[in-house]
Amino acid sequence: MTQQFTSFDEFYPFYLGEHQDRRCRILHYIGSTLVLLVAGIAIASETYLLLAALPVIGYGFAWVGHFGFEKNRPATFKYPFYSLLADWVMLKDAITGELDNKLKQL
């Protein structure tokens, strides 16, 4: 990955291009959903140690998708903040039905 991004608006189309395989995106959605679920359980039960598992849960599913299906290196390694934000934007786009159009524009 040699590109340099100075804004999230520049980064997001690249990010979507790295998530062409539907199976990879599904693994991202599973990881993100489990992060929300485990965070909610940790807070509701006051079992804050569970919060330590959130990066493993979120990134674990995503990285399986990248290494197993996309055959690429996750953008998280070079753009951690943009990648984290893009995970949630991609999930929002999938839920709202905007993702297919954005993928077609690539």
| Alpha-carbon torsion angle 39, 71, 106, 92, nearest 10 | -10
Task: pLDDT tens for the chain, 106 residues: list them.
Answer: 567 899 999 999 999 999 999 999 999 999 999 999 999 999 999 999 999 999 999 999 999 999 999 999 999 989 999 999 999 999 999 999 999 999 999 9
For 72, residues 6+ apart whose C-beta sits below 8 A from its C-beta are 18, 66
Q: What is the DSSP letter of 49?
A: G
